[in-house]
Structure 1
């Protein structure tokens, strides 16, 4: 959690004051791998995100070890054998909405965000589709996309090749609150 707070502060310091900043400290991220022998599912609700509605900049960070699995052995293998969580503790995305959205107007808006996804220490340029929902001033973003293990140099040993899919489905959901630089006001 300490790392996420530091990342949030760093991202917010980059943004200019007076702009429409929104933060989410409990974004949900889930992964799903469908393979012939066994499906693998994990989720976390501790991802952090900052959204600048003025510029369209969007940043996400998730601690790899925060993903929880149904089976503890799967969680151990995920962290130690595949993701090398001690060496690569965070996955991040830094991007920008490709078209502006008026966050003062309620509605559901399809969005596309282009940027860099860093997983397992490997950066990939990605264009990720999603939805931005505004209802009563509350902003929620959702997305579903695929991540190829090979794109991020995540090796799947031949022995377990039938247990793990080559592409992992990711689902992300974040509900944002306006950033307040001085919470006592």
Structure 2
């Protein structure tokens, strides 16, 4: 009985370690957005996005707090969180996707499409993100961009401000991944 238990325990530890070798983490990823408007452009950056990359499954997941976006003007930050995103009710945004035709062993820069689901304000939408993935000595560097339609996430813009906020927002992402196992050494 003890030998069977030890064999089981060894197997669990071995496969856990094996799967950890295929997982990478970016703890301070950058997500930024830009909204062109005739009155004033709106731009914000979030340097606290958390992302996990699983190279075996070719999957990526991202989570970020909406209040972590930094704007040039405090009033923009306030309106973004209170009037549009409603960060008290919907504190975070998430993304889960699959990297199409990704080869984690390739040493050259790969231009790949990530298809997945983004969730903002409790509303999920399918998106495709064009990315550039570069293998680094310790992990991977990923950057990409995509667009979001504001009304798809039930963000209400008062008619008087409709010229001040773009209907489509450009989003850029940048993640520097290191092996997940390195965090706990």
| TM-score, reference length from structure 1 | 0.87
Q: Cα deviations across residues 98-137 of structure 1 (Å, max 9, x unaligned)? A: 11313x3321101111111101110001222111111324
Aligned residue pair count: 168
The structure 2 residue matched to 1:40, chosen from 39, 42, 66, is 42
Matched, 1:53 2:55: yes
Matches within 5 A, 1:8-157: 17=16, 18-19=18-19, 20-102=22-104, 104-157=105-158
In structure 2, what is the equivalent of residue 161 of structure 1? 162
Moved over 3 A (4+): none
Measure the CA separation in 2 of the matches of 1:96 and 1:37: 38
**Residues 1:23 and 1:36: Cα distance change in structure 2 (over 3 Å):** same
Check the 8 A contact 1:49/1:59 in 2, yes or no.
yes
* 2:119–2:125 CA contact under 8 A, matched in 1: yes
Please report the TM-score for the alignment, with normalisation by the length of structure 2: 0.87
CA RMSD of aligned residues (A): 1.4
Q: CA deviation at 1:37?
A: 0.5
Unpaired runs of 5+ in structure 2? Answer: 1-14
Paired residues of 1:107 and 1:135 also in contact (CA < 8 A): no
Please tell me whether Structure 1 or Structure 2 has the larger radius of gyration of its CA atoms: 2
- Any conservation in 1 of the 2:36–2:42 contact (CA below 8 Å)? yes
Residues 137-184 of structure 1 show CA distances to partners (whole Å, capped at 9, x for unaligned) of 430111111111011111111111111000111010000000118824
Higher helix share: 2
Change in 2 beyond 3 A, CA 1:156/1:22: same
CA distance in 2, matches of 1:174, 1:151: 25
Q: Secondary structure at the match of 1:180?
A: helix
What CA distance in whole angstroms lies between the structure 1 residues aligned with 2:126 and 2:119?
9
